[in-house]
Structure 1
């Protein structure tokens, strides 16, 4: 029952039907160009990459480079690879000479924690462990873990208790970090940076969080579909984006119990789970911000989101409230 958490984490680098110009010359790709596709796993879930290119060997080279970069970062941030830097940090409470990307991502995580009054917190892993253990029992209490167990987990949570320096990362024993609320966006941004450096000007990168590179080759915006949380496989709306990232959070993404009362979006103040919105989507200039803030905003009332928008790198929030009504907030 308690397999790896999945937030639709897959990679898809796809050109429009009109084709994608990747060569330094900027020559357009023919509409009938056959795409080059890679499928595998990344960050514990199914992954695919698809590139339309008139030069198949160039497309394959780009895919190989993107895969290599994503794998390198996965070896740092994964909760499930025994040799990852994150697993070592959780096991020992210290990383000496940590990878620069781990320092960068944890420092960024602490910044979002401060901006959101602690609602974004990468140290909520003890709550995940508690709920996973509780609901994996035979005939678990449908009311969830007992208050004393939740209080014990909360005592081991607090992003501010992480000491993040270039030469070492330290946290009190008993704490544990999960990067599931930000790593997908961060890796997406790194893959976008790599593709841009190789001349890609029009594409859509989706590594669990979506980021557009430019517009479609014909100049039209990309359209990113937002899933209907109540109807699997149905799109609730489509957001037009150009050079922007989109991230959606919702309790429906992973539920511990059949009723959906308990999900993976934990409130680090109370130990409870998000239930204010059916889903919440952020649009930002980068996928790291979109990822982290879609998580934090899921725990905030609408008025608090509105007040915070001018101070964070989010331009638009599309939410679906408990009654199923859509609402757009614009910075």
Structure 2
């Protein structure tokens, strides 16, 4: 999957070594860039960072039948508490918090829709069956993800359950951001100050590169995959982008894509892309899709309400920017029509 944001390379000073390693993980590509350090130190950093992603992939990947998240899904509606590890418990609680922050636009129980909307170049474009979609849509409710009361002296982790049969958890809207944040913790713990971590459209830029802030390009939603319409300077912050150009099909002249508005379970139409800058990658990822769904000034207001900033390309191709980003954003051209 092509990332929505592209790193704009800045030449490093000759005395500073920049090392980059990329691995396919979590249904996308994960890239870690380290500035400075010995080869041995860099190897330790890479192993620690990718190890953090491997842990997230094992615990939070609903597509893996052996993941702890899949164990919760298999028990949906049977009334049993499923004990999950501490990190998954924390991620699920963060998912509920994100749902509350966004009025349900972000919802970790979205996966009841899995398989209803299908995107792929090898598939014939088709809309889902309306009756089945309505049935599945009614199963989306973060309020029916329940947590067991804490037991004194109990084992680490927590008990969780899905209240109704047919409900399913999906953490695709925060797992990559969670992995980025965990990798950042590992790298900081090893003494790295200048680095860049990317998982698909979720990023964290730490410190600087060649003495200057990292620069990233915001993809032109209707341009070529490597075309950007603006460049943003970032340092010690996370950012995430969602766009309607990654997974989509066109049917009878209308674009249908993978960013689903859970209120009606159809692709959102208010935006072409949304980029959110926030203190953590999870914060950015949770907010981005909700900003995309709302679009316009309402989307910007949601980001700003929760201490983030945003750049939105609206459905009618207007570019809206949070005031805090105006001086850090360099516009190269208007987005393609």
TM-score (norm 1): 0.84
Distance in 1 between residues matched to 2:196 and 2:233, nearest whole Å: 12
Distance in 2 between residues matched to 1:299 and 1:202, nearest whole Å: 33
- What is aligned with 1:276? 270
- Give yes or no for contact 1:106–1:164 (8 Å, CA) kept in 2: no
Note the 1:59-138 alignment, pairs <5 A.
59-93=42-76, 96-132=82-118
Note the 1:200-239 alignment, pairs <5 A.
200-208=192-200, 209-218=202-211, 220-231=212-223, 232-239=225-232
- What is aligned with 2:170? 178
Alpha-carbon distance change, 59 to 95 in structure 1, aligned in 2, over 3 angstroms: farther
Aligned-residue Cα RMSD (Å) equals 2.8
Note the 1:134-213 alignment, pairs <5 A.
142=126, 144-165=127-148, 166-171=157-162, 172-208=164-200, 209-213=202-206
- What is aligned with 1:265? 259
- Give yes or no for contact 1:16–1:216 (8 Å, CA) kept in 2: yes
Task: Please state how far the C-alpha of 1:121 moved relative to its aligned partner.
Answer: 0.8
Distance in 2 between residues matched to 1:155 and 1:176, nearest whole Å: 12
Task: Please state how far the C-alpha of 1:104 moved relative to its aligned partner.
Answer: 0.9
Cα distance per residue 1:263-299 (max 9 Å; x no partner): 1111111111112111011111111011010011111
Q: How many residues align?
A: 309
- Give yes or no for contact 2:56–2:178 (8 Å, CA) kept in 1: no
- Give yes or no for contact 2:35–2:209 (8 Å, CA) kept in 1: no
- Structure 2 alignment gaps of length 5 or more: 149-156, 325-337
TM-score (norm 2): 0.82
> Alignment partner of 2:208: what SS?
coil
Distance in 1 between residues matched to 2:277 and 2:118, nearest whole Å: 31
Distance in 2 between residues matched to 1:190 and 1:138, nearest whole Å: 36
Q: Is 1:289 aligned to 2:283, yes or no? A: yes
The structure whose RCO (Cα within 8 Å, separation 6+) is larger is: 2
Alpha-carbon distance change, 38 to 261 in structure 1, aligned in 2, over 3 angstroms: same
Greater shift, 87-96 or 189-198, is seen at: 87-96
